[in-house]
A = this chain, B = another copy of it.
Amino acid sequence: MIAEILSTGDEIRTGGVADTNSAYIARLLQDAGIFVARHNCIGDDINDIAAIIKEISERADIVIATGGLGPTEDDITAEAVAKAANVKLALNITAYKRIEEFLKQLGKKKITPLNAKQALLPQNSILINNFTGTASGFLLKINKAVFFFLPGVPFEMKGMMPQVIEYIQKELSASRRFNKTINIKTLGVPESSANEALKDFSKEFKNIKLGFRAVLPEIHVKLYGSGDDKETIERELKKGEQFVIKRLGEYVFSTDGKSIEETIAEILIKKRASLSIAESCTGGLIASRLTDVAGSSEYFLFSGVTYANDSKIKVLKVSPATIEKYGAVSVETVQEMAAGAKRISGADYAIAVSGIAGPSGGTKEKPVGTVCIGIADLKTVTGKMYNFPFKERIMNKEIFAAAALWLLLKRIRDV
């Protein structure tokens, strides 16, 4: 079964935005054991879209297409599909009612003609539910290919992809081949070192393809299992997972796809322990990542984003003398920040971060990329200084946050 991806839109065609949708879709298809042969991109022109749909319909078995399903005039995918498939557009009542309902929740009493247009689908197409917007997704067989048309808004597309994958696996999967992927997430080991540590993996595991993906600063080790017998593959994957853990164990933070913040939530909730944070250079990013996880209110109490030194002193009661003597970016200051966050919120654990994200603020002794992380646990307060080689502000915020979460995870596992 061969898949292709098609993204439509002048914004992507002209380079106004990079096509991240196609990468996302390719990963999901790949993980579901479906071979992606090509990506294609074309602009908002009805004849061009119809022409490329016809071309691909002779080549691929499955096509995931994104874009052009919005309410505006340049959203013309449904029309182009109708043209390519030589059918008419017709009002889909289910889609119409869903749009009406969605707009009602937004406080709009009447459906406008532009939104009503979003319920006009090519005849014979099957509606794909969109729970987060007015664009209607749909699937339609054209020549030998089944096309899935989804909105280009990444959030909406991502919400609908599980339905697409499920449909493909249930309705279209001729092959009974069993595919399963294990995703082992690590932090703190470079990709080349991870590769070196696992260089004899492929000799031992014949049915598993080993892959590495850098989702900086994390390195994900992927085990792609594939074969005719489910039990054999699952047994081999289990062994493969243990092999990777044996070699890279100290860097592994999850083997079930969970993020580091999900892993932390799980442990703290199990321990019935609470956490507070004090952030300077990360500016709230650590708290925001932790609270992306549903249920984080069970353990997360407070983060003091004390960007100004004065806030560190007023809110967290850091001693002005400490900042004066050692600087705001120092092991001494972050220890006092962590202790302060713990004390004022009554938390069991606290982490504190202060660093130089850049572009300015670096010195010879503490260049851009320097970060201090403090951890207060049930018994002690400790602190460490790190230096990362990146000179870019957003990247540094990400790296500093990841380093702090990683130290926290190691601590709550131990204490």
A-to-B contact residues, CB < 8 Å: 10-20, 22-30, 36-44, 48, 52, 70-74, 102, 105-107, 112, 114-115, 131-132, 134, 153, 155, 159, 181, 190-196, 199, 209-214, 216, 222, 224, 276-277, 279, 281-288, 290-292, 294-297, 300-308, 310-311, 314-315, 344-346, 358-360, 387, 389-395, 397
Quick check: B11 and A16 within 8 Å, CB to CB?
A: no
Given the interface pairs A13-B39, A22-B19, the reply to whether A287 lies near B283 with Cβ below 8 Å is yes
Q: A41-B39, A155-B216 are in contact. Are A10 and B283 (CB under 8 A)?
A: no
Q: Closest B residue to A101 by CB, please name it.
A: B389
Instruction: Give the residues in chain B near A281, CB-CB below 8 Å.
Output: 291
User: From residue A43, how far is it (CB to closest CB) to chain B in Å?
Assistant: 7
Chain B nearest CB, measured from A57 CB (Å): 15
Question: Are B302 and A305 closer than 8 Å at their CB atoms?
Answer: yes
Contacts of A71 in B (CB 8 A): 191-192, 195
User: Shortest beta-carbon distance, A325 to chain B, in Å?
Assistant: 21
A11 to B16, CA, bound (A): 22
**B311/A345 in contact, CB under 8 A:** yes
Is the pair B292, A74 in contact by a Cβ cutoff of 8 Å? Answer: no
B284 touches A288 (CB 8 A): yes
Q: Which of B292, B295, B308 contacts A394 (CB 8 A)?
A: B292
Known: A294-B393, A392-B132. A36 touches B15 (CB 8 A): yes
Give the residue name and chain of the B residue nearest to A221 (CB): B72
Name A305's contact: one of B39, B304, B344 (CB within 8 Å). Answer: B304
Q: Are B315 and A344 in contact (CB under 8 A)?
A: yes
Q: How long is the Cα–Cα vector from A297 to B307 in the complex, in angstroms?
A: 7
Selected contact of A39 from candidates B12, B114, B192, CB within 8 Å: B12
Q: Which residue of B lies closest to A151 (CB)?
A: B214
